[in-house]
Amino acid sequence: MQSQTQQTLKIFWQHARKYKWRVIIMIAGIAAITAIQTYSTVLYRDLIDLLTAGTVKQDLSPALFIVFVVLGINGLEITIWRIVEFVNNYFTGKVMSDLANTCFSYLQEHSYGFFTSKFVGSLVTKVKRFERSFETIQNQFFFDLGRAFLITGMILAVLLWQYTFFGLIMLLWCIVYLGFSYYFAKFKLPYDIRRSRVDTEMTGQLADAITNNVNVKSFSNYSGEFNRFSGITNKQFLSRKKSWDMGTIGEGVQAILVTGLEFLIIYLAVRFWQSGVLTVGDVVLLQAYFIRMYEKLWNTGKNIRNMYEALADANEMTELLVQPHSVVDLPDAPGLKVAKGAVEFRDVSFGYHAGQKILDGFSLAIPAGERVALIGPSGGGKSTILKLLTRFYDLGSGSILVDGQNIAQVTQDSLRSAISLVPQDPILFHRTLAENIRYARPGASDEEVITAAKFAHAHEFIEKSQHGYQTLVGERGIKLSGGERQRIAIARAILKDAPILILDEATSSLDSESEMFIQDALKNLMKGRTTIVVAHRLSTIIQMDRIVVIAGGKIIEQGNHKELLKVREGTYQKLWHIQAGGFVQ
């Protein structure tokens, strides 16, 4: 936990030091302001002594001089404050933006498997907390904690110089007070981290329930979801209350320490005034310095706790930022150069978890331009083969080659640029239809986007939409039907025009008429491209050059449609008879 906090501070510092001159200006400005405020109190002491000594009646100029000096330095303080705040506005805002960009980049570079086990809502919350934690820590450090230490240090310097006895008392008290505040904040940190984790859990559960609102309604399970959510919010309440109660206890101890010092300072000051050691101005100065120290150091305890709470919030994101990416490019990895698009799996073994084998010694060579269909029972490894080819996961052993180049030794971006993927359940951005199609090739013209949509038979429904190609599709494309989303995904693949094409149940959500049109479009799209199709509906793959039947991560049959139908008691033959009328019989 302590190591994680250090990692968080290290990340914050790495981003902040790029703007070191702004940091120096702020520190210098705050130091100047603190010196002015400390000196102002001394001037007020001298003014009070002048007034109580009765010398004003003879000569008003010394008192008026002090008044005008106070006016001048207050004006200087206001000016410096504005400069510091303008500099801080740029510094804090820029670093927060940089942190958000770092989080975005690092999260996006995590593997496909990373996102399958994380709630979207939780990840978003962690990013927002991370950048806001910097804002909290920065403001607490510069404008609260840093100023408090500067003010306390200057006040103690003046007291030790002119009122040594009182200076020693306050110095000893500061050591006790700050020591308690620091160690109590460290003691409270685990409770703050626990509260932060439960907050994130609640956010993730809320996002999951909202995303699955249709399921909640369809299964009439509102009460079950509410009970689940209320259980988490109750846990959240208990963790918050524990954290806040600890803060209340700490403030109680601080209040006792402050009250004790206030009584001691006033009591001794009055006694010293009575004996003639102190003037009225001295008493007022001591009281003013005490009040300023009390205000700043009282908040210092809270500042330290706030900083630790902010660190607790940030630590969850830090865990992800220091977690190594599971799929990474080799140093100086070259880009993939695709001339033909031949694909080969050589003795590939893979499992999602230790001790698990989805593929075991799997080998398959696909010549350039061949159209290959992968079929077989669910869980046999078909989708896993596609994920490995796109390098969403790294292999356990073996290799995958594209035009003779090992995909593990080239950049991921260049590999995926050579592949067009149409997934079974396409997820769209909450952007316009045109933007979602153009995502495959950002520089494509409007005419190219429309042409791709026409080939995918998406142009018809797009034209009927409220705003045509400028219609927003909703989060994850929820405003479109499953078939419409698949046609947009197919249009994207057509526009990308990559040499390797992957179709993962690409027509599963289409009605029969739409499927007929799409099959025609896909037939044109497949020409001259290495194509890998995963399908359960065998009628969609009859025209494939080769059909590969996979079960248990191994190839058990392969050939074209006519050849496989001749295999007696073959898996393909059985599946074909079932789908072609077996259920009716």
Q: What are the CA-CA distances from residue 432 to residues 188, 439, 472, 552 (Å)?
A: 48, 11, 4, 41
In a domain, 539, yes or no: yes
Tell me the CATH number at 395: 3.40.50.300
The pLDDT of residue 45 is above 50: yes
The predicted-structure confidence for 302-335, as pLDDT tens digits, reads as follows 777 778 778 877 887 888 888 887 888 888 889 8
Residues whose CB falls within 8 Å of the CB of residue 158, separated by 6 or more in sequence, listed in order = 38, 42, 167, 289
Cα angle: 454, vertex 457, 458; to 5 degrees: 85
Looking at the fold, whether 140 and 245 belong to one and the same domain comes out as yes
**Could you give the strand order of the β-sheet that contains 500-504, starting from the edge strand earlier in sequence?**
419-422, 500-504, 530-534, 371-375, 546-551, 554-559
Bridge partners, 350 (sequence order): 359
Looking at the fold, whether 258 and 397 belong to one and the same domain comes out as no
- Domain boundary residue among 292, 321, 350? 321
The token pair at 297 is 């150091």
Q: What are the CA-CA distances from residue 525 to residues 219, 437, 521, 522 (Å)?
A: 41, 16, 6, 5
- Give 142 or 371, the one with higher predicted confidence: 371
H or E element at residue 402: strand 397-402
H or E element at residue 422: strand 419-422
What number of CA atoms fall less than 13 Å from residue 521's CA on the CB side? 28
Output the pLDDT for position 512: 67
Cβ 458 vs Cβ 471: under 8 Å: no
Looking at the fold, whether 279 and 394 belong to one and the same domain comes out as no
Single pTM value for the model: 0.68
Cα angle: 375, vertex 380, 385; to 5 degrees: 75
- Domain boundary residue among 321, 343, 375? 321
Percent of the chain with pLDDT over 90: 3
Looking at the fold, whether 51 and 177 belong to one and the same domain comes out as yes
The predicted-structure confidence for 469-502, as pLDDT tens digits, reads as follows 888 887 777 788 777 888 888 888 888 888 898 8
- Domain boundary residue among 258, 290, 321? 321
The pLDDT of residue 16 is above 50: yes
Neighbouring CB atoms inside 10 A of 63's CB total 15
Looking at the fold, whether 356 and 245 belong to one and the same domain comes out as no
In a domain, 113, yes or no: yes
Output the pLDDT for position 58: 61
In a domain, 300, yes or no: yes
Output the pLDDT for position 301: 66
Looking at the fold, whether 63 and 152 belong to one and the same domain comes out as yes
Looking at the fold, whether 404 and 315 belong to one and the same domain comes out as no
| Phi, then psi, of 500 in degrees rounded to 5 | -115, 130
Output the pLDDT for position 345: 92
The token pair at 535 is 């399908």
| Phi, then psi, of 135 in degrees rounded to 5 | -60, -45
In a domain, 519, yes or no: no
Tell me the CATH number at 171: 1.20.1560.10
**Among the ranges given (5-19, 165-179, 448-462), the one the predictor scored with the smallest mean pLDDT:** 165-179
In a domain, 431, yes or no: no
Tell me how far apart the alpha carbons of residues 572 and 585 are, in angstroms, rounded to a whole number: 18
Beta strands in 230-370 (DSSP E): 343-350, 359-366
Looking at the fold, whether 112 and 154 belong to one and the same domain comes out as yes
Rg over CA atoms, the chain: 35
- Give 51 or 196, the one with higher predicted confidence: 196
Output the pLDDT for position 584: 37
**358: DSSP letter:** S
Give the number of domains in the chain.
Answer: 2
Which domain range does residue 141 map to? 2-321
Looking at the fold, whether 141 and 57 belong to one and the same domain comes out as yes
Mean pLDDT for the chain overall: 80
Cα angle: 283, vertex 289, 291; to 5 degrees: 100
**444: DSSP letter:** -
Looking at the fold, whether 86 and 160 belong to one and the same domain comes out as yes
Residue 323 burial by CB count (10 A; 0-12/13-18/19+): exposed, middle or buried?
A: exposed
In a domain, 62, yes or no: yes
